[in-house]
Structure 1
Amino acid sequence: MDVLLGLTPDGAADAEESERLTIRLRAEVRRLDIYTLQVLADGAPPECAKAVDPVTAGAVVLALSAPSGVLTSLVGLLQDWLGRQSAGHRVSVTIDSDTLELEQATPEERRQLIEAFVRRHGAGGE
């Protein structure tokens, strides 16, 4: 399953801070059971997506492995990572044309969004 992961730093983040955020997030994602992790050049369209938002920094394409729970683990990792950040960054997860935006929301709202997204892609896609 190919997954497009996008990081949109808080509007106050400069280019250097955006790069540091991207590197830290990629380092954490690499710990998951993934086949490949490809960092996209700015504006380069990934093979798994029809278009990339040009303002999205740190776009990464992941090829998740087959074991059950990898998508759930990825979304949980992203949620945890966002929770540890002091600024209002946003992370998006796209599979095919379905995108989950993780940003500031109540824990309950975020849990419901994540559960629905994983249900749509988890059972047959992992």
Structure 2
Amino acid sequence: MASEEIPVRLVLDAGDDDPEYAEEQLQYLIEELRGIDLASIDRAQQAPPPGTRGTGALELGALLIGLGSSGSLLPVLVGLVQDWLNRRRSGTVRLKLGDDEIELTAATDEVQQRALDEFLRRHGQ
């Protein structure tokens, strides 16, 4: 990911203990993410355990997304993820921007909308 990009960490919890199902759901989400003009979409790497020489493995359900330098796509990204979750009617997605994190669910209740509005406000959207 280029240094001028604003990185967002996205972690999908498909709500199922089946890793194959979780990977399938992540692939569906990635396909939809490719429909918006993101700077990058990469699989997130897990840090290797302390004391090992490994380079780390792919973290199940985790992506690193580059929004570009302006961050103007954050509301588009959030809207796409909310819509995707609502169509699935299950699962959660955590979005982390810097030290700020929000968890989105398929619920469209007022409390979640207020939390989302506040998250976007904190990031100038």
The residue type paired with residue 100 of structure 1 is I
Identity rate, percent: 34
Task: Measure how far apart 1:97 and its partner are.
Answer: 1.1
Cα distance in structure 2, aligned partners of 1:77 and 1:121: 17
1:83 aligns with 2:86: yes
What corresponds to 2:28 in structure 1? 24
1:2 to 2, 7, 14: 7
Instruction: Extract unaligned runs of 5+ from structure 1.
Output: 46-55
Give the counterpart letter for 1:121 in structure 2. Answer: H
The aligned length equals: 110
Written as runs of structure 1 = structure 2, the 5 A alignment for 1:1-126 is 1-10=6-15, 12-41=16-45, 43-44=46-47, 57-66=60-69, 69-86=72-89, 88-123=90-125
Could you tell me whether the CA contact under 8 Å between 1:9 and 1:57 is conserved in 2? no
Change (3 A) 1:19 1:31: same
| Compared CA separation, residues 15 and 71, structure 1 to 2 (3 A) | same
The Cα shift of 1:13 comes to 4.2
Larger radius of gyration: 2
**TM-score, structure 1 as length reference:** 0.77
TM score, norm. by length of structure 2? 0.77
Runs of at least 5 residues in structure 2 that lack an aligned partner in the other structure: 1-5, 49-58
